[in-house]
Amino acid sequence: MDLENYWQENKNFVLSVAGGALVFLIGFLVLDSSYGADLRGSAARLNREQQKLRQSYYTNADLGRVEEEHAALTAALDQLAGAAAFQPREGFQLRDGAGSPSNQYFGRVDRVQRELELLAGRARCVLPDGLGLEPLKTNDVEVIGRQLEALDLLDRALRRAIEAGVDRVSRVEVQLDPSLGGRSGLGRVERTRVQLRMVADPPAITAFLHATQRGATPLVVDSYDARAASGREDEVALDITLVAVRLHELAEEGEE
């Protein structure tokens, strides 16, 4: 190839390419002098961090300790759940083959009323008529089951009140958890509340409050308010709310 002829014919193109290369080289040198050290330092730090991520920081002994702690926490959680959850007694649970749920409920209510009225009469404690229970107006098995649990909680509370020397129980109200039967369903914790109002002298009220927490099956107290009884400075009126707690397993995320 005749370089002189090529040069004469393409000198503008060659000069443009050479000028562009020169500009690129100058720009590269300028950038490298300004930012090259930072870029190389960042690349080195990135490489070091990547090397760290590839390393194993935990040994089999660490894994064993974590598994032991997890097992201990799970056992503690189960123990706390068992202590918080209300365990109805056998006579306060619906049984298959023992008649309709409503008949089982009415039979248990009748028995509890007779037993408590006898105990209250001996102790001169005044209870509300029919224990203050509202008539059962449903055949829903779940609702009847919860009402039986509330009756069990009420029975335990009134027996403690009579034993403590409470003079009278003037009000009983049962409130099932509002989420029962609701569209959103029950959450992790379901609460059936039994509200009581009672009047007695201060030692009897104190003895009753102590009795709620005594024994193998203490009662879960949601709230209470003690104050001087209206018109009687020597008596205390106590409003107390007891709770029968049910714990439910929540569905895994994504499950129907």
Q: Are residues 61 and 109 in the same domain?
A: no
Total domains, the chain: 2
Query: In this structure, what CATH number is given to the domain that contains residue 222?
Result: 3.30.70.60
Task: Examine the domain organization and report whether 43 and 166 are in the same domain.
Answer: no
In 85-167, which ranges are continuous DSSP H helix? 101-123, 141-164
Does 208 fall in a domain?
A: yes
Query: Are residues 103 and 76 part of one domain?
Result: no
The rounded distance, in Å, linking the Cα atoms of 254 and 256 is 7
Query: What per-residue confidence (pLDDT) applies to 13?
Result: 66
Claim to verify: residue 58 and residue 92 sit in the same structural domain: no
Residue 222 bridge partners (DSSP): none
Residue 53 belongs to what domain range? Answer: 3-82
- Looking up tokens 């009420």 gives 154
Residues 149 and 70 in one domain: no
Per-residue pLDDT of the chain (256 residues; tens, 9 = 90+): 566 666 566 667 666 766 666 666 665 555 556 555 666 677 778 887 777 767 666 677 777 887 888 888 777 766 665 566 789 999 999 998 888 999 999 999 999 999 999 999 999 999 999 999 998 888 899 999 999 999 999 999 999 999 999 999 999 999 998 888 766 666 778 899 999 999 999 999 999 999 999 888 899 999 999 998 887 778 999 999 999 998 877 544 444 4
Regarding whether 110 and 78 lie in a shared domain, the answer is no
**Nearest alpha-carbon partner for 108 in 129, 126, 89, 124:** 89
Report if residue 256 sits inside a domain: no
